Structures are given as C-alpha cells and as structure tokens.
A and B are shown apart, each in its own frame.
Chain A
C-alpha cells in the first residue's frame, strides 16, 4: 500500500460528495420537486366537468385581480411593517442590557425571555386566546375591574395587534439570543481599547456593539419577514374563537390553505404559493443586499 498522502485528489473530492448526497436526495424530494410540481400545476385549471386543462397564465392574472389575495397580502405587509421592528427593537434592547454586565441575574433573564420560544405555537395561541377572552380571560378580569369594556383584543379593530403581541411574545427571546450570541463574539480587546480611549457606555454601544450586530440583525430581519408572510397558526387557531372577525382569507397562507382543503382549488392555491414564495424571496434578498452594502461602506 502506498502512503496515504498519495491518495488521489479525485477520490477525496468524491468522499466530500458522499457526505452531501443523503441531504441532497431528501432536499430534492421535499423541496425542489414540490416547487417544480406547483409551477406545473399553476398553469392548469381543475374543473368539475372536463377535468384538468391547460390555461397558461390565467391563474396568475386571476390572482392579481383577486381582492381576497390583496386583502391578505396588505394585512401581512402592515403586520410586517409594525410587528417586526417592535419585536427586533425589544430583542435588541434586551440583548444589550443582558450583555452590559451591569445586570444582576443576567442568565435568569436571558433564559426567561427565551422560554416562550420553546412553547409550541399552538399552545401559545390557545393560551393567549383564553387570556384575551372575556369569559375567563385576563381581559375579562380587567374589564370587570374597571367596570367597562377597556380591553377587547378579539374585536376587529384590535385583532391584528393581539396577533402581533402573540408573535412578539413567542419570538422576542429567540431574536434576543441571536443578538446576544453575536455580542459575545466581540473580541474583548476592542472594549479595552475603547476604555483606554475614554469611550463612554453609549459610545461603546454605537461604535462597537451595533456594528458588530449588523449581520445578526440582517439574519433576524430576514427570518422575521419570512415568518410574517407565512402567518398562519395564530390567526387560524384564533379563528375558532371568533370566526366572524377572522376571515378564511385573513392571510395569504390561510387563503391558500382554505382554497385547497375546503375549495379543492389546488391549481389556484399552487399559484398563490408560488407568488408568495417569490415575494418573500425578493424582499429577503433586498434586505440581505442592503445589509451587506451598508456593511461595506
């Protein structure tokens, strides 16, 4: 046997491929093929009579003039514009506070803020839904206490805020942890240098900590955008409490779900899924691009 160093490069590179192949096989099966399949479906239409027929881009033009689609899309866009900055802002403040070294019991706070993330979304919504209710919920308790309808989180005006609160509760700790982990990896000699230069606490935050967080903020923003566009669990479960307030097309995702499982309109639902996938990917890409451009400045 020759020395191992003479192992042909080719064989080594094939070894690398073998590590990746199992993942790729499943990846193709559950991601690539379904995407191609829905692209295929989106150019057909299913009729009760006559079966499946090719319709070209008709599903797309129908979708773009479908008020229910725009209604849902507008709602998640509004949700995104308000909830994501609030949540990430809170997460940032919490991460900076825990990292500041002036907080007693920091590990306790870190863990307690994070805990809701481990709670199944379904359980979180059931729980908040009960608390929002006026029968045995906290909202009901408070209303009774002050003697009139002060809090009505399940009313049409407040429902989006109520959902935003649930989502914030679930994910603020997760984002806080991402920020906190990024802060931990700042080399400590940077802080020493800042101290020698006489930089104050705020100066350190703005000149060292926030720049170090930039990449983590970009990642967290992208995940939150994806999450907002996917909004489904929270409104769909709350719907069982208040079917009159939350329509079947409250979010695009609920619309797609109801189109396929209540309406059997699979091709149209596939079209909606593709359009939402493209919208999400484009926005995520723009955020990524802007994030890295600012980093290069």
Chain B
C-alpha cells in the first residue's frame, strides 16, 4: 500500500515542487526536489496577473459552470431519482430504461451532434453551451434512485400524506433529509465532472473570455510551440496546482458523506 500511495502522490508532489521553481531552474534541476529560489509566490502572482488577469476570469467561469451546471444536475437528478423510486406512473419503466441506457452512450460521441445542433440554435460560444449539457447526469439519477429505495421508507411518506402534507412538502421536509448522503455524492461527482470538463468547452467555445480553467491552461501550454513560441511552463504548472486545490479541498471536507452515498450505488444494479 505504501507503493500505491507513492504512485498516487508522487506526481502531485512533483507538481507542488515544480510550482515553486522559476522556469529556468525547472530545466536544470532534479524534478523531485526543490531548487534555486523559492518562487511559488512569485509564480502564483504571475498566474493571477498574466495577460490582464485572464486566469481569474477563467476561474470565475469555471465556478459559474460548476455552480449552475453541477448544481442544476444535482437538483434534476435528485427530483427524478426520488420520483422514480417512490411513485408509480404510466411510462415509468420506459423512462427508467432509456435513462439507464443513456449511461452507456459516450458523452464525447454526443459532443459533435450536440455542437451541430447548438450551432443551429446559435447557442455555441455562449455560457449555455457548456451549462445546458452539464445539467443531465443519468448516473446521478441512478445513484439517487438506488439510495432512495433503501433510505426513504414508503411508510414514512404515507404517514406524512395522512397528516395532510402535500407531495412537494413531503419531499422537501422528509425525503430530502433522508437522501442527504446520496445527494452529496451526486453533487460531488457532478462538481468534479464539470470542474474537469474539457472536451465540451473545447468544441463549444472560441472566446477566451468564456473559457474554463482546463481550456485556458491548455492554451497557455500551447504557447510553447509554434512560430512565436513563448513558453510559460512555470505558469502552466502553478496555474494547474491552483486549479486542483478547490476540488481536493471539497472532497476532503465532505468525505464522510459521499463515501456512504457511494456505498449504496456500488452494490445494486
């Protein structure tokens, strides 16, 4: 297990170490140890100010896409998963089969057709081109469904109904509370998926002012090649480090919740 942990952590250590180097000492020092001037703060300052502070803009875009996209995906998946688990209505089986089938459709296979459709609707190169496709998480729906079957006893819902509580109120006051670990799990994985999204914004967006961090960093990386090459590797590396920190922090802070939520989803199918 020590080997496992080393394998997982060494590259991250490399990232931290090299984020503290100047571009020059990156080239002429050993990769897994500090060297030269400790330039981390310098690098971070440059990351935030380079090109008129475009990195900050990318960070804000990423946060917007995550809050609206992943947040919306969580709300939709929670409502639908709960509805499918706890109600009977005509066409329910068909809905369920279609959504589960959709898990097997590669998102990237859809990207090209979605791009074509969105460009017909003049939605490409807008924030909606990134947000709207992120709103649907078939796997999230599946997780909530599994979780709701186990964690929300139908008898409690019946009792609430007898007390005169409406369906929506029953959901908000009872269902949602019992579903919390499942919802946190869905939210976290939606956040990671949106924060890390690369392919979709890559094809949907041209305007650097709309880029999320992932596309922005790759654009910086591309500066090292081509005719007017001006490598800014130190910024790519420090900017990458900065892009990881929030996601890792969220995971560490909420691990109690999402691990129990994941347990339900991994057993049944």
Contact = CB atoms under 8 A, between A and B. Distances in A.
A120 B1 contact: no
Interface SS of A by simple majority: helix
A216 B266 contact: yes
Contacts of B215: 122
A35 B105 contact: yes
A34 B113 contact: yes
Interface stretch (A148-156, A173-181, A197-205): A173-181
Given A4-B162, A126-B217, A137 B31 contact: yes
Contacts of B102: 27, 31
A109 B225 CA distance: 39
Interface string A33-46: 11101100100000
A275 B208 CA distance: 33
A49 interface: no
Nearest to B244: A119
A33 B117 contact: yes
Contacts of A108: 5
Interface in A173-219: 173, 177-179, 181-182, 184-185, 215-216, 218-219
Contacts of A30: 110, 114, 132-133, 135-136
B191 to A, nearest CB: 10
B262 A178 contact: yes
A15 B263 contact: no
Contacts of B268: 215
B83 A26 contact: no
Given A35-B105, A109-B4, A269-B112, A115 B9 contact: yes
A277 B198 contact: no
A62 B269 CA distance: 38
Contacts of B34: none
**Closest 5 CB pairs between A and B?**
A16-B87, A19-B83, A23-B80, A38-B113, A181-B263
Q: How large is the interface on B (under 10, 10 to 19, 20 to 34, 35 or more residues)?
A: 35 or more
B112 A27 contact: no
Contacts of B259: 177, 181
B172 to A, nearest CB: 12
Nearest to A118: B247
Contacts of A256: 108-109, 112
B104 A185 contact: no
Contacts of B32: 138, 141
B244 A121 contact: no
B59 interface: no
Interface in A57-114: 90, 94, 97-98, 103, 108-109, 111-114
Contacts of A3: 162
6 contacts: A4-B163, A23-B76, A27-B138, A127-B14, A130-B233, A222-B104
Nearest to A119: B244
A250 interface: no
Nearest to B213: A120
Given A222-B104, A233-B198, A260-B203, 11 more contacts: A13-B89, A26-B76, A27-B136, A38-B112, A109-B4, A135-B27, A136-B18, A177-B259, A215-B268, A230-B109, A260-B115
A240 B171 CA distance: 50
A251 B129 CA distance: 25
B223 to A, nearest CB: 10
A54 interface: no
Contacts of A261: 203
A16 B221 contact: no
A131 interface: yes
Contacts of B112: 38, 256-257, 260, 266, 269-270, 273
Interface in B51-84: 75-77, 79-80, 82-84
A226 B167 contact: no
Contacts of A281: 101, 104-105
A177 B110 contact: no
